[in-house]
A and B are shown apart, each in its own frame.
Chain A
């Protein structure tokens, strides 16, 4: 499915050294002085084509960080660069617009991106095909299952044609079987599209299943506590022993971070 346009795009991606560069970013809410510090001096690069998961317990500010990268909010200090333009963002809720069909949801993203009317329908069908929902173009959002909705949401995010895809616990509300299938699906699509992905989760196994790099955030305030590079070959299974082993190690670190909050 690699057209010349996407090949050219892939070359562009090779030219830049990062899909996102987060430098010394801090964020506090409730005024500059005396506010609550949520993120403290975060520095993180996402390389082109890299899959990074941000992992942390509640209160680590991982969703806040994602909002900052998405440009929905501004950091209190530091800077965030996304050379590929406005990143695409997927939420835990599908966030599809119920007044539009599945296909029209995708077409709206294309239209807002500036794709001329003539090519929209075809491109929307292609993206639905990519998430294996060909034939669902005219379906209403409420006619789709939870997993199908998230796949349409993924197709809509891909329609933005951004180099960077941000995902905020997109599979957290799904049942285990569907989530497992969507992990396979996401891995396949990531490898096909050569996108950079920054994926937020509190599920350690999910983080290890998907990512090339796992970044553990501490809580209150969120700081980078630890980082793991994962070279288990893809596609992995969540049941793989190597995935389980590393998950155990990361969980121990995560628990250590959580325990610190009970000590005073």
Chain B
């Protein structure tokens, strides 16, 4: 029988609990800046320097004609020339603004589409497989019909971007929704989050990591699709973008210009991912404790 001296006093219990909490609490450590520099910044810098070194070495050894393999300095000269002419930023902005605007359009269309496909069984059965299959169709295939349908203008560019990016974004959201743990749905249901409330408070936030992965891929597809469109469909009315820069280089047999265009296309793709999508994704994962350490 419980005697009074074995009865826990509330103060004892509070103290005991505080002790347990202190012992069990996970210590969250922020990585110091130095460690970030050494572990995250240093390795890619080494890789780039190595590539440049090998490139310069090949040029110095004259393994091939100079018009086939320009020296790094020649590419640098092309860059500075464009900068001094004042065309560099224009060219970058033409392509980047097109890609970003196209991506935003794809976001506006792809998000509700993904929600409908993930929640309505009939729609999913009807267009789910097509949507998944569209991802493996190279968007360059859409350039020909887009030119014939819409003519050589910006709408045609946006059409190609949409056809490339919308399936990625929609599929990312579908995957995100599919991966929502059933426990969250049940917990939401007992709290009264059913129907639209359930979608808003539980399903959408729970699916956010998958959705962000879809957005990231959607951006990559937007950028690739646009470059394909710009390379194939060139017209004076379209303005000079990075794709046309590349195509002009080919027409003028200007290998330094071609290399410059390729490098710029690569840098923009990486920069947008590094500046927008990666931080967003990391912030979401970190807040949820899903970011693997190390």
A residues contacting B by CB (< 8 A) are 70-72, 86-89, 91, 93, 95, 97-100, 108-109, 112-113, 132-133, 140-148, 156, 160, 177-178, 181, 184-185, 188, 232-237, 239-242
Contacts and interface: CB of A to CB of B under 8 A. Distances in A.
B21 A89 contact: no
Given A108-B191, A240-B1, A177 B20 contact: yes
Contacts of A113: 191-192
B24 A145 contact: yes
B184 A95 contact: yes
A88 B6 CA distance: 32
B202 A97 contact: yes
B289 A143 contact: yes
A236 B6 CA distance: 8
B155 to A, nearest CB: 38
Given A72-B190, A143-B25, A235 B17 contact: no
Interface string B6-29: 111010011011101100111010
B20 A89 contact: no
Contacts of A72: 186, 189-190
Contact of A140 (B10, B202, B206, B289): B289
Contacts of B287: 98-99, 140
Given A132-B14, A145-B25, A232-B1, A97 B184 contact: yes
Among B25, B26, B183, B187, find the residue whose CB has the most chain A CB atoms closer than 10 A.
B187
A159 B56 CA distance: 68
7 contacts: A93-B183, A98-B290, A112-B193, A132-B18, A141-B288, A235-B8, A237-B6
B109 interface: no
Contacts of A144: 25-26
Nearest to A112: B192
Given A86-B192, A89-B190, A142 B2 contact: no
A89 B193 CA distance: 13
A68 B26 CA distance: 36
A143 B286 CA distance: 11
A236 B7 CA distance: 7
Nearest to A233: B2
Interface in B176-191: 183-184, 186-187, 189-191
B289 A95 contact: no
B205 interface: yes
Contacts of B289: 98, 140-143
B205 A97 contact: yes
Given A132-B17, A235-B2, A112 B191 contact: yes
Interface in B128-168: none
Interface residues of B, number: 37
A145 B241 CA distance: 54
* A-B complex: 4 closest residue pairs judged by Cβ atoms: A142-B289, A145-B24, A95-B187, A98-B288
Given A97-B184, A97-B205, A145-B26, A185 B2 contact: no
B91 interface: no
A160 B187 CA distance: 12
B282 interface: no
Interface string B173-215: 0000000000110110111110001000110011010000000
Contacts of A99: 205-206, 208, 284, 287-288
Nearest to A92: B183
B189 A242 contact: no
Contacts of A87: 190
A58 to B, nearest CB: 20
A219 to B, nearest CB: 24
Contacts of B187: 89, 91, 95, 97
B183 to A, nearest CB: 5
Given A142-B26, A237-B2, A242-B2, A97 B206 contact: yes
B13 A185 contact: yes
Given A87-B190, A181-B16, A188-B10, 16 more contacts: A86-B190, A89-B187, A97-B184, A97-B202, A99-B284, A108-B193, A112-B197, A132-B18, A144-B25, A147-B21, A181-B20, A185-B17, A232-B2, A235-B8, A239-B6, A242-B1
Contacts of B192: 86, 112-113, 160
